[in-house]
Amino acid sequence: MKKLYFIIILLLICSQKTFTQNYNEMLANDIEWQLTNCGNGCNTDVYFTDGDTIYNSYIYSILNGYHFISKTFWLRE
């Protein structure tokens, strides 16, 4: 009998309407990341998306910044 009550309560809880967060694009236009590394001193590197490209019918965002100035590093959501 306890198992039956447990199953009924579990079904009632699971059947409740759930709410989720809205989707926000991570690679939207004009987005910038600042990465700070601290060791003996602190250095801040800035990365940002710099346009889009299409490869094999997929759209990629081009990552640009301190380490990726060659525009050969692509990101995709």
User: What confidence score (pLDDT) does residue 68 get?
Assistant: 60
User: What confidence score (pLDDT) does residue 44 get?
Assistant: 87
Mean pLDDT by 10 residues, the chain (77 residues): 79 72 78 86 86 89 75 80
Whether the full predicted model's pTM is greater than 0.75, yes or no, is no
Residue with tokens 């759209």: 59
- CB within 8 Å of 66: residues ≥ 6 apart: 45, 46, 47
Q: Please list the residues that pair with 34 across neighbouring strands.
A: 46
Show me where the domains of the chain are located. 28-77
CA 49, CA 59: separation in Å to the nearest integer?
13
User: What confidence score (pLDDT) does residue 76 get?
Assistant: 86
Instruction: Characterise 18 by phi-psi region: left (phi > 0), alpha (psi -120 to 50), beta (else).
Output: beta
CA 38, CA 65: separation in Å to the nearest integer?
19
